[in-house]
Structure 1
Amino acid sequence: MQVLFKVDRQSQNAPAWVQTYTLDVDPGMTILDCLNRIKWEQDGSLAFRKNCRNTICGSCSMRINGRSALACKENVGHELARLQQIASTAALNSQPAESLPEITIAPMGNMPVVKDLVVDMQSFWSNLKAVDPYVSTAARQVPEREFLQTPAERSRLNQTGNCILCGACYSECNARTVNPDFVGPHALAKAYRTLADSRDVKTAERLEQYNQGTEGVWGCTRCFFCNSVCPMDVAPMDQIGNIKREILANPSVEDSRPIRHRRTLVDLVKQGGWVDERQFGLRVVTNSFRDLRGLVTMGKLGLRMVQRGKFPFTFHASAGAPQVRSLIESVQNLAVESKQVNSQP
């Protein structure tokens, strides 16, 4: 069958434009197979990265029909079926019967374009290096000693160890788009892999580092895009959540506004079934009157709210507060039990 491939073309620091190629393909051909044929048979100037062609190296990551994926993993038949499903779900008019099916291909996001589908991944690698994703242990000082682990300890590393650093999650990360200081889901997934490693001895230092402002885990917007595009099921957003739980459970980690936000939210909902906005602002922003800068901020906001009649002077607990409290405590107890089981040799 014939398919139209609409490929974003661009040179560095120049406007992008779209070039269309028509290709006779089989449904089982991968997108990378199609790009190779375009380059070999129609346009040798088309630039894209590739290497293993077997979903191992992560080199051929690009945006295919609007979402980041590996060109060597996705095939034509799957992509056309996915587009048809999206069109039918959204009740959109599909393409006219006489028109050729289309597949759009563009470079990854959150990274500057070098040429066509090739992007500059310097920020991607720099942010990975910033989290220091390597096991650091005193045992390295004794070369004769082996790094022994039980099967259970090793199994905790399997999911995050599957990351091939393709950049798909980084490309789709909304937090990275709006906050250039955020290190990205790929880096934090690797960070949790180190935290989960029984051979590492720098847990407290790492948690302090990942707890810093919006550069670390608290910069995640939980949009779920990183999980949805990861070709290896690493689930970066889940690993970020695991780091957050480690931070909240570790009393040695320095108190911060994100930590107070999380703990206060849970405490207030446990008490009243929903959030008491008066206490929430005071406990989170002003740190219970200990943060002078936050107190000034809240003072100005509070005055404006009083003037406009939007300050709640009373709080009425939810009728279902006891049930909510019971549910939260059950989840907390399960989390503690799960951690105890995982920590057993």
Structure 2
Amino acid sequence: MQVLFKVVRQKTPESALQIQTYELDVEPGNTILDCLNRIKWEQDGSLAFRKNCRNTICGSCAMRINGRSALACKENVGDELARLQAIASSTISNPSTQDSPPGEPATPVMTIAPMGNMPVIKDLVVDMKSFWDNLQAVDPFVATGARQIPEREFLQTPEERDRLDQMGNCILCGACYSECNAREVNSDFVGPHALAKANRMVIDSRDSQTEARLARYGQGTQGVWGCTRCYYCNAVCPMDVAPMDQIGKIKEQILDRQDDQANRSVRHRKVLIELVKQGGWIDERQFGVKVVGNSFRDFKGLMSLAPLGLRMIATRKFPLTFERSEGTEEVRSLIESVQQLESEVQNSKPIIEQPSP
């Protein structure tokens, strides 16, 4: 079948973007990388893109395929067109086809672009320096200071090792980083790839810096509290690492160790849970005062709420009363049951003994 490939190209970092169209006769089972290879070999040798293993192992060929980051060696033409058709069926126009003369079927269109959140070097090749720098920032290596005998092998049980498998599947392709909304608006945020690797260190029984890591990963918005929880990293990850889930696990560890005076991010989560337990939903009159104003301890924070409060009063949107939701007691019971279960699980974790001489 004939397919049009619209490739977003940029000859140099300073040059303007342009879209170049190539037409190929392809099979549904051809991967996007197969098609790009044919374009380069048969039509335009100047097209630049990364590739290596062709087998979903190295992560080199990550790019934006029809609007979302993916591996070109993993996605094939047939599945992509089916995905686009499913999206188009719920819209007025069909973005996956190009108009054809009357009586002829529309030609399917595939749009290929470089990954986001990283500057373009050329065409589909991006500069991944910030990606690697942010990975380095979380210190993604096991700290072995706890070893009593440095030269001896540090053993793990099969269960301890199995806990690392999901994060260990990360091939550092950059897809999650490319689609990260938090990274797009906050250049300090290290990114979902780095925090997924960070959780691997947190739960590794061999690591001796767990507490220091958690303190560092919870500082400001460069760590876990910078995540906006959009779940896009989970959606695009080709290896099912689920970076958003790993970020959530780090948050749980931090919340277990810190009280509401640690920082505003921790206070936000704890206050939210307490207010839901009290009323089934959030009492907005208390939320800002407790979180931003730290229950009248933070005068500067309280003053920062004044403009918003005045606007709400002026527009008659300030809630003068609060009515608990139906089923509040049931909600409270569920939350307390989960909290108790988490506490029991935490207390039942085995103590990891260091190797003896």
TM-score (norm 2): 0.90
Q: 2:327 — aligned with what?
A: 320
Mark the CA change 1:74 to 1:319 in structure 2 (over 3 Å): closer, same or farther. closer
Contact 2:63 2:114 in 1 (8 A): yes
**Distance (whole Å) between structure 1 residues aligned to residue 350 and residue 178 of structure 2:** 34
Q: CA deviation at 1:30?
A: 1.0
Q: 1:244 — aligned with what?
A: 251
Q: CA deviation at 1:338?
A: 4.2
Q: 2:355 — aligned with what?
A: none
Q: 2:42 — aligned with what?
A: 41
Structure 2 gaps, min length 5: 353-357
**Distance (whole Å) between structure 2 residues aligned to residue 229 and residue 319 of structure 1:** 37
Q: 1:257 — aligned with what?
A: 264
Matched, 1:10 2:17: no
Q: 1:271 — aligned with what?
A: 278
**How many pairs align?**
345
Partner SS, residue 138 of structure 1: coil
Structure 1 gaps, min length 5: none
Summarize deviations over 1:92-126 as a string: whole Å, max 9, x none. 44746523211110000011100000001111111
RMSD: 2.1
**Distance (whole Å) between structure 1 residues aligned to residue 234 and residue 63 of structure 2:** 16
Summarize deviations over 1:138-183 as a string: whole Å, max 9, x none. 2457333211111111111000010000000000111111111111
**Distance (whole Å) between structure 2 residues aligned to residue 5 and residue 313 of structure 1:** 58
**Distance (whole Å) between structure 2 residues aligned to residue 59 and residue 147 of structure 1:** 32
Q: CA deviation at 1:302?
A: 4.0
Contact 2:167 2:196 in 1 (8 A): yes
Partner SS, residue 283 of structure 1: helix
TM-score (norm 1): 0.93
Instruction: Report the more deviating stretch, 94-103 or 41-50.
Output: 94-103
Contact 1:30 1:75 in 2 (8 A): yes
Mark the CA change 1:343 to 1:86 in structure 2 (over 3 Å): closer, same or farther. farther
Summarize deviations over 1:165-212 as a string: whole Å, max 9, x none. 000000011111111111110011011110010111211211111111
Match runs of 1:191-340 below 5 Å: 191-251=198-258, 255-306=262-313, 309-340=316-347
**Distance (whole Å) between structure 2 residues aligned to residue 298 and residue 319 of structure 1:** 29
Summarize deviations over 1:17-59 as a string: whole Å, max 9, x none. 0111111222111111111111111111000001111111100
Contact 1:2 1:22 in 2 (8 A): yes
Instruction: Report the more deviating stretch, 112-121 or 280-289.
Output: 280-289
**Distance (whole Å) between structure 2 residues aligned to residue 318 and residue 50 of structure 1:** 55
Identity of aligned residues (%): 69
Contact 2:65 2:110 in 1 (8 A): yes
Amino acid at match of 2:258: P
**Distance (whole Å) between structure 1 residues aligned to residue 194 and residue 26 of structure 2:** 37
Matched, 1:73 2:80: no
Amino acid at match of 1:121: M
**Distance (whole Å) between structure 1 residues aligned to residue 35 and residue 311 of structure 2:** 60
Q: 1:145 — aligned with what?
A: 152
